[in-house]
C-alpha cells in the first residue's frame, strides 16, 4: 500500500505534522504486517478546517449530485472489493470466505441502500403554514472499530454524505489498512476536496481531540461502552450531538416448541461467526431447564465442528482474535467462568491444540450459567457462549432483560404469535425472530448502555440531519 504513513486531508494524502508510527500486527502470525502513521491534535485541526471550508458548498449540492457521487463511490469500491477482503483477512484475522462474503460485502450493501434512501427521502414537508426542513448538521466526526471495520466506515460515511455533511474519520488503529483502501476509493471516485478527511490515530489522542473539537458539530462513535462514555464526556463541553453504537450481551431465548437441534446449532454458529467479535452476537442461550442436557450435546457438536486455523483457507470458519489484548481478555473471562462454577462443556483456556502461534481461542461452551456470573454479564467478544436454564417464559424474559446492555435479542419458537409476544417484552433495539436474514434498511442501535441513536437506511441518514421549522412559510 502507498499511503500507510499518511493521512487523507482536503483531497490529498499528507504527512503527519508530528511523525509517529504504530505497528499493525497480523493476528494469525503475531508478526508485524504494516506500519502506519498516527496523528495528533494538530492533524485533527487541519482536517476539521478542511471539512469546515468544504461544508457550505457541499451542503447546497442537489439530491442528484449526491446520488451521482454515491454511485461513483460504489463503482470504485466494487472494483477494489477483493483488495478490501484480503486486507481485512490479514489485519483482523477474518477467514477469507467471511472477509469476502460478509465483511467486504457490507460496503456494497450499505452504499446501495443509501442510494435508494436518498432517491426517495423527503427533506421538506409542509405542516399547515409551517415548513419543516431537514438539513445537514455540519461537520461530523466518525470513530469506527476494528471488528466490522468497513461495515462501520461505510454505514457512517455514506449517510453523512447523503445528508450533505462533511467529515473527519478516525478508523481503528488496530485494523486500519482497510480505511486506507477506503480513502483511496473516495479519492478515485472524485469526492470534492475537504468533504471527506481521514486521520489515523489512537482513540485517547485523535478520538479525544475530535470529541472536544469546537469545529465538529456531531460525533458518531462505534466501540466499547467504556470508550463511548469518554467520547460523550468530551463532546459535552461543546454540546454537540453524540450518536453511539456500543457493547452488547444479547440473549437468545429458545422456547419449548422449537426444534432444538436446529436452533442450538444455528445459535452457536451465528454467535461464533467473526470469532465472536460482534457486538450483537447471541452470546447468552436461554433454554428450558429440563432440556439443558440435550442442548449441551448439540452446542458441543456445533462448537467442535468449527474449523479453526489458516485464514487463507476457504474451509476455515474461525480465525484468531484481533490482538493480544483481546486474547488475554478472553482467556481471563474463560478462567473466571471456570472459577465461578460454570460447567465447561467444550473448549476452555489456551489455543486449539494444533496451533502454536496466533491469537486463536478454542471455541468454548459453558452451561449451568447463572446471571450473576461474570461470563453472563461481561461482553466477552470471543468464541464463548453461555447456556442459561430457565423455569418458565416469565423467568426467561427476566433473565434476558437483566443486563446493562440492550443492543440485540433473539427468540426462537415455532408458535410465531408466542415468539412475537416474547419479543415485545425484550428491552433491546433489535429483536431477531427465528434467525431471519439481515435487514440493513432496519434501524440498528441499542437500549441502555448499548448506546443511543440508530444506524442503517433512512434512520442512519436522519442522525446527520437537523430539523428546522420555518413558521409562516405559507400565507395563512
Mean pLDDT across the stretch 112-117?
Answer: 98
Active site residue 279: yes
Could you give the dihedral angle defined by the CA atoms of residues 399, 404, 410 and 415, in that order, rounded to the nearest 10 degrees?
40
Between the CA atoms of 366, 370, 376 and 378, what dihedral angle is there, to the nearest 10 degrees?
A: -130
- Does residue 401 carry a pLDDT above 70? yes
pLDDT at residue 120 in the model: 95
Residues of the chain with CATH 3.40.605.10: 7-246+450-470
What order do you get walking across the sheet with 364-367 strand by strand?
343-346, 364-367, 384-390, 284-288, 251-254, 408-412, 430-433
> What is the spatial distance between Cα 214 and Cα 331, in angstroms, rounded to a whole number?
41
The answer, yes or no, to whether residue 240 has pLDDT greater than 80, is: yes
Residue 315, judged by CB atoms within 10 A of its CB (0-12, 13-18, 19+), counts as: exposed
Q: Which grid coordinates belong to 296?
A: 449441551
Q: Which of 106, 103, 108 is nearest to 78 (CA)?
A: 108
Q: Which of 76, 91, 155, 279 is catalytic?
A: 279
For 208, the grid coordinates are: 479525544
Find the mean pLDDT for residues 246-260: 98
Q: What is the torsional sign of CA 16, 21, 27, 31?
A: positive
User: C-alpha grid cell for residue 284?
Assistant: 447468552
Q: What is the mean pLDDT of residues 426-443?
A: 97
What integer best gives the mean pLDDT of the chain? 97
| CATH 3.40.309.10 describes domain 251-439 | yes
Residues 245, 379, 455, 463: which is the catalytic one? 245
Q: Where in the chain is the domain with CATH 3.40.309.10?
A: 251-439
Helices (H), 189-259: 208-212, 225-235
Cβ atoms within 10 A of the Cβ of 204, count?
10
In sequence order, the β-bridge partners of residue 346 are 365
Write the DSSP assignment of 27-41 as a string of letters: TTTTEEEEEEE---H
Mean pLDDT (whole number) for 45-70: 98
Mean pLDDT of 94-113: 98
Under 8 Å between Cβ of 198 and 183: yes
Do 326 and 335 touch, CB atoms closer than 8 A? no
Query: What pLDDT does 77 receive?
Result: 98
Helix axes 292-304, 260-272, angle to 10 degrees: 50
Contact 388, 287 (CB under 8 A): yes
Q: What is the pLDDT of residue 19?
A: 85
Cβ proximity of 423 and 431 under 8 Å: yes
With a cut of 90, say whether residue 2 has pLDDT above it: no
Binned at pLDDT 50, 70 and 90, residue 476 comes out as confident
Nine-digit cell string for 228 = 463511548
Q: What is the pLDDT of residues 124-146, one digit of tens each?
A: 999 999 999 999 999 999 999 99
pLDDT above 90 as % of the chain:
99
- Residue 209 confidence (pLDDT): 97
245 is catalytic: yes
H or E element, residue 8: strand 7-9
How many Cβ atoms are within 10 Å of 428's Cβ, its own excluded?
Answer: 24
Residues, the chain, total?
476
The residue assigned the cell 431471519 is: 436
| Grid cell for residue 249 | 450481551
pLDDT at 469 over 80: yes
191-234 pLDDT, tens per residue? Answer: 999 999 999 999 999 999 999 999 999 999 999 999 999 999 99
In this predicted model, what pLDDT tens digit does every residue of 157-185 receive, in sequence order? 999 999 999 999 999 999 999 999 999 99
Write the DSSP assignment of 294-345 as a string of letters: HHHHHHHHHHHT--BS-TTSTT--B---S-HHHHHHHHHHHHHHHHTT-EEE
- Average pLDDT over every residue of 231-250: 97
pLDDT at residue 1 is higher than 80: no
Residue that has been written with the C-alpha cell 482536503 in this structure: 10
E strands of 210-250, at which residues? Answer: 218-222, 241-245
- Average pLDDT of 242-251? 97
CATH superfamily of the 7-246+450-470 domain: Aldehyde Dehydrogenase; Chain A, domain 1 (3.40.605.10)
Identify whether the C-beta of residue 443 lies closer than 8 Å to the C-beta of residue 455: yes
Amino acid at each position: 500500500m502507498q499511503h500507510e504513513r499518511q493521512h487523507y486531508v482536503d483531497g490529498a494524502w499528507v504527512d503527519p505534522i508530528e511523525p509517529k508510527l504504530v505497528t499493525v500486527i497480523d493476528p494469525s502470525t503475531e508478526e508485524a504486517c504494516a506500519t502506519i502513521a498516527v496523528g495528533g491534535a494538530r492533524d485533527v485541526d487541519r482536517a476539521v478546517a478542511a471539512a469546515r471550508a468544504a461544508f457550505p458548498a457541499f451542503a447546497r449540492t442537489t439530491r442528484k449530485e449526491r446520488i451521482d457521487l454515491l454511485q461513483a463511490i460504489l463503482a470504485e469500491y466494487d472494483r477494489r472489493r477483493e483488495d478490501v477482503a484480503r486486507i481485512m483477512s490479514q489485519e483482523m484475522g477474518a477467514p477469507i470466505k467471511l472477509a469476502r462474503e460478509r465483511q467486504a460485502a457490507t460496503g456494497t450493501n450499505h452504499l446501495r441502500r443509501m442510494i435508494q434512501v436518498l432517491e426517495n427521502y423527503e427533506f421538506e414537508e409542509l405542516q399547515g403554514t409551517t415548513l419543516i426542513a431537514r438539513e445537514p448538521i455540519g461537520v461530523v466526526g466518525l470513530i469506527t472499530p476494528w471488528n466490522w471495520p468497513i461495515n462501520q466506515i461505510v454505514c457512517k460515511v455514506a449517510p453523512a454524505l447523503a445528508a450533505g455533511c462533511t467529515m473527519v474519520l478516525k478508523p481503528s488503529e488496530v485494523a486500519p489498512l482497510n480505511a486506507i483502501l477506503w480513502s483511496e476509493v473516495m479519492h478515485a471516485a472524485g469526492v470534492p476536496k475537504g468533504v471527506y478527511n481521514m486521520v489515523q490515530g489512537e482513540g485517547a489522542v485523535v478520538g479525544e481531540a475530535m470529541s472536544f473539537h469546537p469545529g465538529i458539530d456531531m460525533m458518531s462513535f462505534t466501540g466499547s461502552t467504556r470508550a463511548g462514555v469518554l467520547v460523550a464526556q468530551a463532546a459535552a463541553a461543546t454540546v454537540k450531538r453524540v450518536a453511539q453504537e456500543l457493547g452488547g450481551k444479547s440473549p437468545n431465548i429458545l422456547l419449548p416448541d422449537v426444534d432444538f437441534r436446529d436452533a442450538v446449532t444455528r445459535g452457536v454458529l451465528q454467535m461464533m461467526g467473526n470469532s465472536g467479535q460482534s457486538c450483537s452476537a447471541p452470546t447468552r442461550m436461554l433454554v428450558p431447564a429440563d432440556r439443558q442436557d440435550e442442548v449441551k450435546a448439540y452446542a458441543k457438536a456445533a462448537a467442535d465442528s468449527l474449523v479453526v486455523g489458516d485464514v487463507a483457507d476457504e474451509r476455515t470458519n474461525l480465525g484468531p482474535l484481533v490482538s493480544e489484548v483481546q486474547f488475554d481478555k478472553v482467556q481471563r473471562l474463560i478462567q473466571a467462568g471456570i472459577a465461578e462454577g460454570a460447567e465447561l462443556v467444550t473448549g476452555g483456556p489456551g489455543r486449539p491444540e494444533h496451533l502454536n502461534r496466533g491469537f486463536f481461542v478454542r471455541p468454548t461452551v459453558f452451561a449451568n450459567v447463572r446471571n450473576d456470573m461474570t461470563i453472563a454479564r461481561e461482553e466477552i467478544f470471543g468464541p464463548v457462549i453461555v447456556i442459561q436454564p430457565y423455569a418458565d417464559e416469565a423467568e426467561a424474559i427476566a433473565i434476558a432483560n437483566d443486563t446493562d446492555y440492550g443492543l440485540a435479542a433473539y427468540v426462537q419458537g415455532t408458535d410465531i404469535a408466542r415468539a412475537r409476544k416474547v419479543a415485545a417484552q425484550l428491552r433491546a433495539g433489535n429483536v431477531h425472530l427465528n434467525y431471519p436474514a439481515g435487514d440493513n434498511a432496519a434501524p440498528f442501535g441499542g437500549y441502555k448502555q448499548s448506546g443511543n441513536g440508530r444506524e442503517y437506511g433512512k434512520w442512519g441518514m436522519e442522525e446527520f440531519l437537523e430539523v428546522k421549522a420555518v413558521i409562516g412559510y405559507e400565507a395563512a
